[in-house]
């Protein structure tokens, strides 16, 4: 167990804040599989300040998700502080996180996201301005550097700590790498040795064994799981159990996968309405299908679905087919 500021987490497994994915429907589903902390997708400071309707909807948090970290991004101190104050005073988030890792050009060209990684002094200035203005703990999610020639991870993390930040989540890739290549866990260990606030490691945690190895090799306080949890909240559950007991739990059945997929869909419908939810759920459903044999045909059916009834029908047909194949194999033996 560890604390971020005064927020006590039940375990050391954290859901990463993934843009376009980590809305309330997804976060709650992952939370129910045991995550110690879930992080919301990044929200624009300017969108908050201007009270943009779409942005305001992104601030919704179900009480069952808590503790939750809500991530904001921006390049100007004034709007970042104003947005942080709004989150502090008007949402039920437990932690305010600042994005310093997004590599997307439309974000970095606004001096936001990973662009901060080039200037430890700016990090100190921006983070200290936010911590001075809010009551909730402030954390930072960052990458190890801009490129191989500009890796200031230790200085950047130290700047966060000096500015009053309560934790750092570090992705062991540069901005230039995007999500390619291998994450550098050595830099995570180096940063942990040079700061006194909690450090959450991120990058290439694809199995429960990876999570334990990251904790053991780097000494980090928590482990952040992102892409490995897409369509697979069991990764969170299996990691929590493995870290707690050393037991490696089995993989879910096709029926279990599809039942949770439909639960996720229904939560998304409650959040965004049927039409938008079904369109958004297509990518999630494809992730839930990973590892299931013969899923190509089912994917076509998913991508042609426009209503809940159509999508659920496709998923249930997959379950029936999988269970019939399983019965045939048993009988053959």
Catalytic residue among 22, 39, 102, 220: 102
Token pair recorded at residue 153: 């991870």
Backbone angles phi, psi at 174, to 5 degrees: -85, 170
Whether 39 is a known active-site residue: answer no
Q: Are 75 and 111 in contact (CB under 8 A)?
A: yes
Neighbouring-strand partners of residue 68: 38
Q: Are 100 and 148 in contact (CB under 8 A)?
A: no
- In sequence order, the 6+-apart residues with CB closer than 8 A to the CB of 277 are 265, 268, 269, 271, 308
Which H, E and C letters describe the chain, residue by residue? CCEECCEECCCCEEECCCCCCCCHHHHHHHHCCCCCEEECCCEEHHHHHCCCHHHHHHCCCCHHHCCEEEEEECCCHHHHHHHHHHHHHHCCCCEEEEEECCCCHHHHCCCCHHHHHHCHHHHHHHHHHHHHHCCCCEEEEEEEECCCCCCCHHHHHHHHHHCCCCEEEEEEEECCCCCCCCCCHHHHHHHHCCCCCCEEEECCCCCHHHHHHHHHHHCCCEEEECHHHCCCCHHHHHHHHHHHHCCCCCCCCHHHHHHHHHHHHHHHHHHHCHHHHHHHHHHHHHHHHCCCCCCHHHHHHHHCCCCHHHHHHHHHHHHHHHHHHHHHHHHHC
- Cα 123 from Cα 117, distance rounded (Å): 8
Which residues participate in catalysis according to the annotation? Answer: 102
């Amino acid at each position: 167990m560890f604390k971020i500021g005064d927020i006590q987490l039940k375990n050391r497994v954290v859901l990463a804040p993934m843009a376009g994915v980590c809305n309330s429907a997804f976060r709650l589903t992952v939370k129910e599989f045991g995550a110690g902390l879930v992080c919301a997708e990044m929200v624009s400071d300017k969108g908050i300040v201007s009270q943009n309707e779409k942005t305001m909807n992104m601030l919704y948090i179900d009480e069952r998700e808590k503790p939750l970290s809500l991530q904001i991004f921006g390049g100007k101190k004034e709007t970042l502080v104003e947005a942080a104050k709004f989150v502090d005073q008007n949402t039920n988030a437990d932690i305010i996180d600042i994005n310093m890792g997004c590599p997307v050009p439309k974000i970095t060209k606004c001096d936001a996201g990973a662009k901060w990684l080039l200037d430890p002094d700016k990090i100190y200035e921006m983070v200290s301005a936010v911590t001075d203005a809010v009551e909730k703990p402030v954390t930072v999610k960052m990458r190890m550097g801009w490129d191989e020639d500009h890796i200031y991870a230790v200085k950047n993390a130290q700047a966060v700590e000096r500015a009053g930040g309560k934790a750092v989540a570090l992705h062991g890739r540069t901005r230039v790498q995007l999500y390619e290549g291998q994450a550098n866990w050595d830099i995570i260990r180096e940063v942990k040795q040079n700061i006194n606030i909690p450090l959450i490691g991120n990058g290439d945690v694809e199995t429960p064994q990876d999570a334990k190895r990251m904790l053991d090799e780097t000494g980090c306080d928590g482990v952040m799981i992102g892409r490995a949890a897409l369509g697979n909240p069991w990764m969170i559950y299996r990691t929590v159990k493995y870290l707690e007991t050393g037991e490696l739990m089995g993989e879910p059945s096709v029926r279990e996968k599809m039942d949770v997929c439909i639960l996720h869909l229904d939560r998304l419908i409650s959040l965004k309405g049927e039409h938008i939810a079904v369109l958004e759920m297509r990518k999630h459903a494809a992730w839930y299908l990973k590892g299931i044999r013969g899923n190509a045909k089912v994917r076509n059916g998913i991508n042609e679905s426009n209503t809940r009834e159509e999508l659920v029908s496709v998923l249930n047909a997959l379950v029936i087919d999988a269970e019939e194949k399983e019965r045939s194999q048993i009988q053959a033996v």
